[in-house]
Structures are given as C-alpha cells and as structure tokens.
Structure 1
Amino acid sequence: MSSPDTAESPSSTPRGIALMTVAMLTIPAVDGFAKYLSADYSPLFLAWARYAVACLAVLPVAVAMHGKQVFPRRDRPAHALRTLFLVSSMTLYFLAIARIELATAITAFFVGPIVAVVLSVAFFGERLTWRKGLSLALGFVGALIMLRPGGAVDPGLLMAFGAGVFFALYMIATRLASRQSDPIRTLAFQCVFGALLLTPQALFAWSTPAVGDLLLFAGLGLFSAASHILSITAFRYADTTTLSPLVYVELIGTATIGYLAFREVPGLATIVGAAFIVAAGLVLLQRRARA
C-alpha cells in the first residue's frame, strides 16, 4: 500500500484520515472470515480464495479505467517479486490465525515494519540512527515477551512472525518497484499474479465451498479489495506521516473481532508484547514525521 504523498490540501486531510481508518477496520473483517472458515477449509485454500475473489472485484475496475492495459507496463519483475512476498506473508498469516488468537497473530505480524528497518540498512545502505536502534530494541523485547524463551512455543506464533518478516520483504520489494505505477494497475497485477501463484497449493488442499459459505468467501475477497482501494484513495487526501499511525487501528479492530466472534481474550504476554511492538513502530513514525 505504498503510495506517494499526493494530498491535495490541508482541508482534505480529515477525509484521508476517515478513509484510512475505515480501511484499517476492514482488514480485520478479512481475518475474521478466514479464521471462521479455517474450521472447515485449509488456510492454503483460503489464501487462494481471497485473491481469486479479489480478482473478480478489481479487474472490472481496472478494465473500466485502463482498457486492455490493466497491468503496470514497467518493472514487472519487481512487481512479481513483491507479490510473491505478499502472498507468502498472507499464507503464513492464515495458517497462524487457524491456530492462535487473532490478537496474538496480528501483534506478531507487526514486527514486519521493524524488520524492514534492518533490511533497509542492509540493502539500501541507510544509516542506523539511534531512533532506529531504539525501535529495533523495543520490537525485539516485545517479540521475546511473546515467545517466552524457555517455554513451549506455539508453531502458529512462529508462523505469524514469519508472516511479518515476509511482509517486511514485501515492503523492501515495493521500494524496488516503479513509483510511477498506477495504483489500480498495481493492485490488478497483484491480484491476478497472486491467484496464479497460489493455485497449486489451492489444488493440493481443495475443498469445494458449501453453498452456505459462499457469502463468507465473497466477503473474504471483497473486503480485502475494499481495504486496498480505501487505503490507496486515502493517500490522495492526506500524507504518509498523517496516515501511517492509523495502521495500529487494525490491531484494535482485530482484537475486537477476536473477542466478539471467537471469545478470545489476549493474555498478559500478548498485551505487554503488543505495547512494546507498537511503541517500536511509533518511534519509527516519529522519526519520519520529524524528517
């Protein structure tokens, strides 16, 4: 969801904030659908279904806007790489939420932006400032609290952390993709190529959806596409510094859905670990704001 700062005017900022907030509250609905469906369907199949349904929603919009040129014309290998990382992240995350609480999974997933800092230093030669170092330390402590070294580690938790790492790789690959790409074309490519990448695992874990579940499968893809389009539109009205902190609304939304739909109550380790990881992210955001 990386977009250039294209805010039109200060007066449009509230509109951008509202759109981004709705986008971040929409994503947890996707997690809720996936967790509910994972009781009867493989997460490998659900990951493909999310992209397949999203294709049905995004492609007509891309065709209406761009005709036959629905995919980016430049840097397609970079777009393919970033999509590969994104579908890997999402598949691991779906495997995770089938095993552990939603709040725990999303907290572990949020190590992604912190890992991206390390990768930026390694791959782009960015300077490791004291703020970045503090962020890394806070994120590392938060991860340790959640993992509780010396005790039994749930494989689902490791999958959620893995999802965060792959999302960090996706963020790095996004920097390599052309910044001039149209957002809708980029999203269309991501949906189609992602569905193709996930087809083999979907065939391996295939389960024909029951008629009563079709609406839930539709929600899985439609809410996903809606969250992307809402966030893309939000960046047209407000800048990155204003909108970035709102990603943590997703954490609140996911915990709420986990409690209301599945009666999940986050444990103390999850709450404390989340506090450290969110603090680590906010340190990075404050650095961006000052820059």
Structure 2
Amino acid sequence: MNPLRGILLKLASVAVFMAMASLIKAASDAVPPGQAVFFRSAFAVPVILVWLIASRGLRAGLVTTNPLGHFWRGLMGTAAMGFGFAGLGLLPLPEVTAIGYAAPLLTVVFAAMFLGETVRAFRIFSVALGLAGVLIVLSPRLTALRAGQIGAEEALGAIVVLVGAVFSALAQVFVRKLVTEEKTSAIVFYFSVNSALLSLVTLPFGWAMPDAEAAAMLVTAGLLGGIGQVLLTSSYRHADASVIAPFEYASMLMALGVGYFVFGEAPGLAVLGGAALVVVAGILIIWREGRLGLERNRQRKSMTPQG
C-alpha cells in the first residue's frame, strides 16, 4: 500500500477524464452523442489491452463467468455516457460536472433498493443534503424556463445530465454485484467492448462524417478514456477507497478552470453553492464508510482466535 501514489494516480485519472470530456464537448457540434460514445469506447479498448498485456493480466481480463452481468453494466454505463455527452453539448462544463455528482449519491439509494444494503440515518441525511445541492444547481435552469427567460435547450440539458447520473448510479450497482465474482480487469475490458457495440444502435439515427479536426479530438478522447480508466483502476491498488474517493471532487476545480479559460464559461452562484453542498455530502458519506470499514476490521480481528 502506498497512499500517496494512490492519490496521485486518482488525481491523474480525474485530470485525464476532464480532458476527455473537454474534447467531447468541443466536438459536440460535429457528431451526435451516440457516435461520441463509440469513439470514446472503441479507442479505449487498445489502451486497456496494452495495459492488460503489460501487467500480465490479459487472460484474467478476458475470462468471465457472468457475460449477462457485463451486458447490463455496459447498457447502463453506455446510457450514462450518452446522456452525459449530450449534456456537454448543451450546458457549461462546470454545470455538467456539478449535476453529475448526483450519481454517487443515487448509488447509495439504489444499493439500498436493489442490493439490500443498510442505509442509516447519517447516510440518509448526507444523501438528502447532496440532492438538495443538485436541485440548487438545477433550479436556475428550470425556473428561468418556466419564466420564459431561456430556451428549452438549456433546461433539456440539465434534465439530460441528471438522467445520465441516474444511469451512472445504476451502472455502479451492477459493478458492485460484478466485483463479487469478476476481476476488475474483466469489468474494465468488457465495459469498453460492450459500450462500443451498444453505441452502434444509434447509427440509424444519423451519424455524421466528422472533419479531420473533430475526428482527431474524438479519437484522442477515446484514448484518454482508456488511459483514465487504467489510472483509476491502478489507484485503488495503492490505497483504500475511503482515502482515494474524495479526490474525485477535484474535477470541479478542473471543470471551473477549463470552462473559464477554454470555453469562456463563468458559473453562477447557484452552481457554485449547489456543487459545494454536493461535495460536502459526498465527503461525509465517504468519511462515514471509512469509519464503518475500520469498525468492521476491528470486529473481525477481535473474533479471530489468538494462538
């Protein structure tokens, strides 16, 4: 275990994923979201294969005992990417990032509903706090739409990103089930393969021939997606999830910087305040999970027979 290395790998993955999202956003006028999902997934596969070969995990990464579980995880994850990429073309990057933070909060709810996980008062409070933050981020769009001050496109963007967060949370529920019987490398590999294939379903709805610049951005986004996945997976080899997970929220700072300097987007107070609430809620849940994990470890040790 090397917590510092794990944190650095996590931060690197967050930066790479933010660069990927920025490229998808920049190319959003050139291709529809389904086609962007194909580029993101298909060009991630070679990167993942190289990683598996280099780490001598190719055989483990290709062997699966639950192909149907991978399909459902891929379906949920592909839908999440599709809606998220659609949102990138409709809303500022910081706003998309803030609304996307609803996903880990909703995962707590869905894990209780579908996996029977126990949700105590502390987590219920934290989830409620985080969802209140998401509503604060959404409120200017929906309020302005009702007053006729903005076009339906921007309000649709907010709803689309929130739907993407719902699918992302459902995908995480399937991942929680898969990790009990499948290796992480297999989950990573088959997700990219399945999402590339599933994105082809959108082909009849009008794919476009991107120009050289847009094609280069989309291919690069796919390669970065693969690199980000490798960095993220590697980070959890060096530190506990409770140590690494809070650094996911560095993406908000990165989104603010990229949005302002690259796309000329300045977030309002509602986005900043709502995002802050969501970040606090997420960190509270992670902190609580870490404490519960330590408590469970102490209980196991106390029950271990002493020689």
Establish whether TM, by shorter chain, passes 0.5: yes
The match for 2:222 is 221
Q: SS at the partner of 1:79?
A: helix
Q: Distance in 2 between matches of 1:99 and 1:67?
A: 39
Q: Kindly provide the CA deviation profile for residues 126-148 of structure 1, in whole angstroms up to 9, marking residues without a partner as x.
A: 33312112112212211221222
Is 1:45 the counterpart of 2:46 in the alignment? no
Matches within 5 A, 1:1-291: 8=1, 12-62=2-52, 65=56, 70-148=61-139, 150-152=143-145, 154-291=155-292
Mapped contact 1:48–1:202 kept (Cα < 8 A): no
Q: Distance in 1 between matches of 2:58 and 2:234?
A: 20
- 1:188: Cα distance to partner? 1.7
- 1:67: Cα distance to partner? 5.6
- 1:212: Cα distance to partner? 3.0
- 1:277: Cα distance to partner? 1.0
Q: SS at the partner of 1:38?
A: coil
Larger Rg: 2
Mapped contact 1:244–1:285 kept (Cα < 8 A): yes
- 1:69: Cα distance to partner? 6.7
Q: Distance in 2 between matches of 1:69 and 1:18?
A: 26
Q: Distance in 2 between matches of 1:16 and 1:66?
A: 20
Q: Distance in 2 between matches of 1:202 and 1:260?
A: 34
Q: Distance in 2 between matches of 1:249 and 1:202?
A: 35
The 1:140/1:188 distance shift into structure 2, 3 A limit, reads: closer
5+ residue gaps, structure 1: 1-7
The match for 2:305 is none
Counterpart residue identity of residue 157, structure 2:
G
Mapped contact 2:34–2:200 kept (Cα < 8 A): no
- 1:184: Cα distance to partner? 2.8
Q: TM-score, normalised by structure 2?
A: 0.86
Q: Distance in 2 between matches of 1:95 and 1:115?
A: 20
Q: How many residues align?
A: 281
Mapped contact 1:145–1:273 kept (Cα < 8 A): yes
Q: Distance in 2 between matches of 1:13 and 1:141?
A: 32
Mapped contact 2:49–2:58 kept (Cα < 8 A): no
Q: Distance in 1 between matches of 2:232 and 2:178?
A: 18
Counterpart residue identity of residue 282, structure 1:
I
Q: SS at the partner of 1:142?
A: helix
Counterpart residue identity of residue 179, structure 1:
T
Q: Distance in 2 between matches of 1:187 and 1:127?
A: 27
Identity of aligned residues (%): 25
Mapped contact 1:71–1:186 kept (Cα < 8 A): no
Mapped contact 1:31–1:254 kept (Cα < 8 A): no
Counterpart residue identity of residue 245, structure 1:
P
Structure 1 window deviating more from structure 2 (133-142 vs 240-249): it is: 133-142
Structure 1 window deviating more from structure 2 (191-200 vs 40-49): it is: 40-49
- 1:224: Cα distance to partner? 0.5
Mapped contact 1:63–1:70 kept (Cα < 8 A): no
Query: How much is the aligned-residue C-alpha RMSD, in angstroms?
Result: 1.9
Counterpart residue identity of residue 137, structure 2:
M
Q: SS at the partner of 1:84?
A: helix
Q: SS at the partner of 2:262?
A: helix
Mapped contact 1:74–1:178 kept (Cα < 8 A): no
- 1:178: Cα distance to partner? 3.8
Q: TM-score, normalised by structure 1?
A: 0.90
Q: Distance in 1 between matches of 2:7 and 2:57?
A: 28
The 1:150/1:208 distance shift into structure 2, 3 A limit, reads: closer
